[in-house]
Amino acid sequence: MSTATDPDHYLDQGAARVRKSAYLSPELYSAEMERIFDKTWLYVAHASEIPNPGDYKTTTMAGRPVVVSRTREGTIAIVQNRCRHRGASVCQAPTGNARFFRCEYHGWTYKNSGELVGVTFPDGYEKIDKSTLGLLTIPRIEVYRDFVFASFNSEVQPLEDHLAGAKEFLDLFIDSGGGRPLVAAHGTQQLTYPGNWKLQLENGCDGYHPNFAHRSFFRVVGSRLHDDSSGSYLGGRSTAKARSLGNGHAILDQRQSVGDHYEKRALLAPDSEQIVEQLAEEVSDDERTRLIAESVHLGFNLTIFPNLQLIGVHIREIVPKSATETVVKYTPMTIDGVPSGINELRLRSHELFYSAAGFGVPDDSEMFRRVSSGLDTDEEWLLLYRGAHRVEGDENAAESHVTDELPQRAEWLHWASLMQEEKA
């Protein structure tokens, strides 16, 4: 393996530091796509995006255009969006419903599970074996409680093994509806930043940055709440924890430190007085308090390596575009069957922080931009050793202070192990 794609060249495990070229090198990026994105499980869709037979959404997996569909039998199918004849895509819309995908170039027709069922003017072919000319499929698909994961690697470990310690928190996210299903019923918003995908990966469970990168957010929220320490649940003296969960997954657990901050924050939303008045007639006081607080956040940020993060009420998918360009998709989840006011609060809370005009995420993107600019200087290393002296537990189930860089180290170690495997 050349230095250019050797993980040991980029990650100095002993010193917990990363070389700047890990965020810049196109050659390394290509190797990451092959050794990570083509080898491990990727989050692809939420089943509620395609509830009925024939429903589909187009998306990408490791750069490849794919169509995720609900088959007539109710299963999930994923095909690569490319006619086997001469290359044209067979499905054009972001979402829709179709019985078949027909290539409009020369009329070849496929089932949404990929089988080639129709070739036009077939007498022009002396012989054609349709069974070998289906749309390319994805070797492995597993649906964990409506979360659709897929892998290009037919030998990939079972999904639940991959999820490791993250499964417990994925379950908590899914169960936050209190037995009612979470649904992706309000679309997906996309943000882009001029920087490497791992900047977003590192940021999702970075408990050190909020009080600084999101200073103005906590200032205006604190001002509205008459509370000048509104970010302290993530501060240096917070009781919140960072944890590694195995396989590069991690959480920031703020459940013990946040108090009633989320509930108060939720009620700053437009129309909230009217909503709360209505809710008083619809749900009990206890459930109302819980649903309002959880309309902001469940108290933990979860990263499932390499492309999924659950933060606030949304599913976040990291979409690498190149070594220095990334798109991030945000799909806020509402709860099917709660009073509409609760779902309004969930949407308000989401757009307050995560919208392109929101009070939170644009400041993260600005930091990614500034990091990308800083990488052009002569300094070689980015430092990730904060809190290394106070980690408790072993590598796969370690705990540290919320502001420590344990999650980032766990992500990088798993990154290195996947990048390394090809060496053998």
Partner 1 sequence: MNTAPVVVEATEARTEARTEALADVVHREGELLDDRRYDEWAELFTDDCRYWAPYDWYAPEPRGAMNIIYDDKARLLDRVSRLTGGDFHSQDPASHTTRLIGVVRPLADPGSWTPPGVSEAAFTASFRLTELRREVLTEYSGRVSWWLRTESGSPRIVAKKVQLLGANRPLANLTFPL
Contact 58, 172 (CB under 8 A): no
By rule CB under 8 A, what string of x and - marks binding of each residue 216-235 to partner 1? xx-xxx-xx-----------
Among 122, 187, 236, 393, binds partner 1 (CB under 8 A): 187
Q: Which of 362, 386, 399, 420 binds partner 1 (CB under 8 A)?
A: 362
Q: How far apart are CA 409 and CA 417, in angstroms?
A: 12
Shortest separation between residue 230's beta carbon and partner 1, angstroms: 13
- Taking the C-alpha atoms of residue 173 and residue 326, their distance in angstroms, rounded to an integer, is 25
Q: Which is nearer to partner 1, 141 or 267 (CB)?
A: 267
The token pair that represents 378 in the structure block: 């002569």
Amino acid at 231: G
Residue 101 or 193: the one with the smaller Cβ distance to partner 1 is 193
Is 365 a residue that touches partner 1 (CB under 8 A)? yes
Q: Which of 161, 366, 380, 395 binds partner 1 (CB under 8 A)?
A: 366
CB closer to partner 1, 345 vs 419: 345
Task: Taking the CA atoms of 336, 337, 343 and 344 in sequence, report the sign of the dihedral they define.
Answer: positive
Nearest distance from residue 29's CB to partner 1, in Å? 18
Exactly one of 5, 40, 81, 189 binds partner 1 (CB under 8 A); which one? 189
- Considering only residues 269 to 328 of the shown chain, the ones binding partner 1 according to CB under 8 A are 269-271, 327
Q: Which two tokens stand for residue 380?
A: 């070689």
Q: Which of 192, 199, 191, 193 is nearest to 23 (CA)?
A: 199
- The helix (run of H) or strand (run of E) holding residue 267 is none
Shortest spacing between CB 346 and partner 1, in angstroms: 10
Least distance in Å: CB of 270 to partner 1? 4
Shortest distance (Å) from residue 363 CB to partner 1: 5
The interface region with partner 1, picked from 236-244, 285-293, 362-370, 396-404 by CB under 8 A, is 362-370
Question: Beta strand pairing status for 241-246 and 314-322?
Answer: unpaired
Tell me how far apart the alpha carbons of residues 17 and 201 are, in angstroms, rounded to a whole number.
16
Q: Does 357 bind partner 1 (CB under 8 A)?
A: yes
Per DSSP, the residues of 53-93 read TTEEEEEEETTEEEEEEE-TTS-EEEEES--TTT---S--S
350, 401, 409, 414: residue in contact with partner 1 (rule CB under 8 A): 350
Largest CA-CA distance found in the chain, in angstroms, rounded: 79
How many residues contact partner 1, by CB under 8 A? 40
Q: Nearest-CA neighbor of 271 among 347, 197, 213?
A: 347
Give residues in contact with partner 1 (CB under 8 A).
94, 186-187, 189-193, 213, 215-217, 219-221, 223-224, 268-271, 327, 332, 340, 343-344, 347-348, 350-352, 355-357, 359, 362-363, 365-367
